Structure 1
Amino acid sequence: MIAVAAVSLAAWLWLLVGRGMFWRTDVRLPRATAEPTAWPSVAVVVPARDEADVLPVSLPSLLAQEYPGEATVFLVDDGSSDGTGDLARTLHATHGGLPLTVTSPGEPPAGWTGKLWAVRHGIAAAREQAGPEFLLLTDADIAHRPDSLRSLVTASYAADLDMVSQMARLRVTTGWERLIVPAFVYFFAQLYPFRWVNRAGSRTAAAAGGCVLLRSSTAAAAHVPEAIRQSVIDDVALSRAVKGAGGRIWLGLAEKVDSVRPYPGLGELWRMVSRSAYAQLRHNPLLLAGTVLGLALIYLVPPVAVIGGAAAGAWPVAALGLAAWAVMAGTYLPMLRYYGQPLWLAPVLPYTASLYLLMTVDSAVEHYRGRGAAWKGRTYARPDDTLA
């Protein structure tokens, strides 16, 4: 137990200093001292499937963008059964603002996810109508502050970036959201350290699909979205395609972009995580086993060492576990502050991690039962199965 606890502490010390400072929350949209002299045209593409509940909050925020250049919103109704398209037209008639086009691509063909088929249709409609210089790909549950688009374009110009993505601030209201949501962003940053993503020449690539500003010419050069048409985790696939085509990308935490989708109970949060967790592991049982062991070693060993060591009088074990637990909790504090949550949640992170471990295992189980990657009535096979 001393050896196991020591390895866990060593892992946390490495994570603290050797993982791109993933735990810090200061990677925000690059500040610019000057704005573009000529504002580029932007097409805002919003794929939407059964989003009538959140659209009254999110869509008016897009229509109300205070952008000096030409901007048009293309909402792509992806086979909704709740009147999403008609509601979007009604909201535009009521609120006015930027021009809105509502269109529908029909059911996706084999080899496409529904969202990416909708994005393809939206981009095609935008190019046919306006030929925009930039594309803002944003989800239907994302609300933007009035100057969000202006800030994104300014940052792209100032830093000469081909893609700028912000991790929207997710809703944190209920007890389960407080427990699960900040940890979700924390784990994502641990997997894809933002500083590594943003470093020129780095192989690490990631994005947050809720808010992506992308140069239209870069999208064409990277063959997006056709090149990633089967991807369930489409934002990471998009970033890899853009980086692979030589594009410069940036990812950080948002200040003016918020998700309004509620996840009031554990069931909703569980499905949100488990539907794509096994896809993240490339449907590989060995990666799954390694992930489970890694999560146990890093997150579960410290509290077990503290409690078990103290109960058995093995104080060196307890001390090592306590040190690892303290480092873990300390790295979680900045994310809790970013979300305005009580700091006592930091030492509870091992419990949250155990839930994520179970969600990951459940994702694999559902995959082998033929119900993996299910979202709003659609289930996607792994890419190899589709191609076959």
Structure 2
Amino acid sequence: MTLPVLLADAGRLIGVVLLGLQVWLLFVLLARLAPGYSRRPPIAPRRTPRTDTTVTVMVTTLNEANRVGPCLDGLMQQEAPLLEVLVVDSRSTDGTRELVEAAARKDPRIRLVTDDPLPPGWVGKVWALESGLREAKGDWVLGIDADTVPAPGLVGAVIDAVEQDRYDVASFSPQFRDQTAAERFVQPAMLTTLVYRCGAAGATQPPPDRVLANGQCFIARRDLLLANGGYSCARTSWCDDVTLARHLAANGARVGFLDGSQIIQVRSYASLGEMWREWGRSFDLKDATPMWRRWLDVALVWAVQGLPLPTLLVLGALLATGTIALTNAPHAMLWRALLLVNGSALLIRLFMLWALRGSYAERGISFWCSWLADLAAAWRLTLSTARRPKAWRGRSFESLPA
């Protein structure tokens, strides 16, 4: 048997295996995306106060002087039901505390809280949230990240949203702003992997082990948190928001994940490199998802997001050179099926780009071309799944258990 024949046989075998995997995972993807067609529209800010409940906002900080100012400005514009803003600081040394104290002099609802030294076995942010929960007095506890910009009417809007759908816990996806062109090229592809793995924001509630959450804007009933051990279930988690949401959902809470692009904006990272490192640290959801399912999700992302475009390019090149043919040739049905399946996957991906456009304050050509970064996103997800991080925001967590 000659080398060209061997290569042709190997190519057909690869094509059959790839086709079988892609057909199966494409049906899985469609089942996850289908509820998104009837998803709830983005939450709108509430224009009037409401006094029938109270909300404690908690902001955790560690050297956030360059980012916390717009967050505090946005919180000072909130009306009732906001009761208090607890800024839980972990002994910042960059002027964060002075900024918070200055804001507190303008708005007595703002209070600076210093958490106790980090105990063994806790991630710093989760410990700060646990410390803030012990001080909170509101009926609801709303976690807001320091790098977010809350729109006026955010607090009332999230209460309206949870009450409308009778949620005990809910979080809200933000609108990303002030990204570089390089970030707008890569980050939407990474965000798409989350939608592919967990479904769309605003859709029907998935099973507890598929619940998605966003700690940048995360609200829960205070008595529910206390009854379920506070944040302790997520004390070692790199994706504490998803771990907590899934824990509460598994214990009977009604948990929602909604589109908050009109009520909160975020500028999380200063560059593409920082985004690649810091977001990639946790976006495989390793502490909230069994290992076998994480690797199945990696396979799904490669099969229906990362590989369709390269597969179509390879098939196009083979057709152009006459190496394969679509009619009156052996195995033509295989090549036609591969073209159909990968073309369908690419069309779904382009539709997702349109569906996600509202999550970006600025778009431009780099956003609309971000589907070309799908291979990079699939590779970053693979790296994140294979590795466990040991540091975050300048802190080392070498001793955390796996």
TM-score by length of 2: 0.80
Q: Using the alignment, how far apart are the partners of 1:217 and 1:262 within structure 2?
A: 34
Unaligned runs of 5+ in 2: 1-13, 327-334
Query: Is the 8 Å Cα contact of residues 71 and 98 (structure 1) preserved in structure 2?
Result: no
Using the aligned pairs only, state the percent identity. Answer: 21
Q: Using the alignment, how far apart are the partners of 2:364 and 2:383 within structure 1?
A: 29
Does residue 1:263 correspond to 2:270, yes or no?
Answer: yes
Match of 1:217 among 223, 229, 234: 223
Q: For 1:75, what is the secondary structure of its paired residue?
A: strand
In structure 1, what is the equivalent of residue 363 of structure 2?
341
In structure 1, what is the equivalent of residue 197 of structure 2?
191
Q: Using the alignment, how far apart are the partners of 2:75 and 2:45 within structure 1?
A: 22
Greater C-alpha Rg: 2
Q: For 1:120, what is the secondary structure of its paired residue?
A: helix
Deviates more, 1:276-285 or 1:189-198: 276-285
Query: Is the 8 Å Cα contact of residues 162 and 215 (structure 1) preserved in structure 2?
Result: yes
Match of 1:303 among 295, 303, 309: 309
* 1:52-91 → structure 2 map (5 Å cutoff): 52-67=65-80, 69=81, 71-91=83-103
Q: For 2:57, what is the secondary structure of its paired residue?
A: strand
Query: Is the 8 Å Cα contact of residues 140 and 220 (structure 2) preserved in structure 1?
Result: yes
Does residue 1:92 correspond to 2:92, yes or no?
Answer: no
Question: How far is 1:213 from its partner?
Answer: 1.5
In structure 1, what is the equivalent of residue 375 of structure 2?
354
1:168-223 superposed Cα distances (whole Å, 9 cap, x missing partner): 11225311221123333322222222479743876532211000121111111221
Query: Is the 8 Å Cα contact of residues 25 and 300 (structure 2) preserved in structure 1?
Result: no
Q: For 1:280, what is the secondary structure of its paired residue?
A: coil
Does residue 1:21 correspond to 2:38, yes or no?
Answer: no
Match of 1:118 among 114, 128, 134: 128
Match of 1:105 among 115, 124, 134: 115
In structure 1, what is the equivalent of residue 352 of structure 2?
331
Question: How far is 1:9 from its partner?
Answer: 5.4
Question: Which residue identity does 2:237 align to in structure 1?
Answer: S
Q: For 2:173, what is the secondary structure of its paired residue?
A: strand
Q: For 2:190, what is the secondary structure of its paired residue?
A: helix
Q: Using the alignment, how far apart are the partners of 1:374 and 1:239 within structure 2?
A: 23
Question: Which residue identity does 1:179 align to in structure 2?
Answer: F
Q: Using the alignment, how far apart are the partners of 2:382 and 2:393 within structure 1?
A: 21
Deviates more, 1:188-197 or 1:207-216: 188-197
Q: Using the alignment, how far apart are the partners of 1:282 and 1:147 within structure 2?
A: 32
Q: For 2:307, what is the secondary structure of its paired residue?
A: helix
Q: Using the alignment, how far apart are the partners of 2:162 and 2:119 within structure 1?
A: 34
Quickly say closer, same or farther: Cα 1:29–1:341, change in 2 above 3 A. closer
Q: For 1:76, what is the secondary structure of its paired residue?
A: strand
Query: Is the 8 Å Cα contact of residues 121 and 401 (structure 2) preserved in structure 1?
Result: no
Query: Is the 8 Å Cα contact of residues 279 and 382 (structure 1) preserved in structure 2?
Result: no
Q: For 2:310, what is the secondary structure of its paired residue?
A: helix
Q: Using the alignment, how far apart are the partners of 2:369 and 2:391 within structure 1?
A: 33
Question: How far is 1:136 from its partner?
Answer: 0.9
Question: Which residue identity does 2:394 align to in structure 1?
Answer: G
Query: Is the 8 Å Cα contact of residues 192 and 352 (structure 2) preserved in structure 1?
Result: no
Match of 1:168 among 165, 174, 195: 174
Query: Is the 8 Å Cα contact of residues 263 and 269 (structure 1) preserved in structure 2?
Result: yes
* 1:125-274 → structure 2 map (5 Å cutoff): 125-126=135-136, 131-194=137-200, 198-199=204-205, 203-254=209-260, 255-264=262-271, 266-274=272-280
Q: How many residues align?
A: 372
Deviates more, 1:375-384 or 1:302-311: 375-384
Quickly say closer, same or farther: Cα 1:82–1:357, change in 2 above 3 A. same
1:146-188 superposed Cα distances (whole Å, 9 cap, x missing partner): 1000111122233322112101112253112211233333222
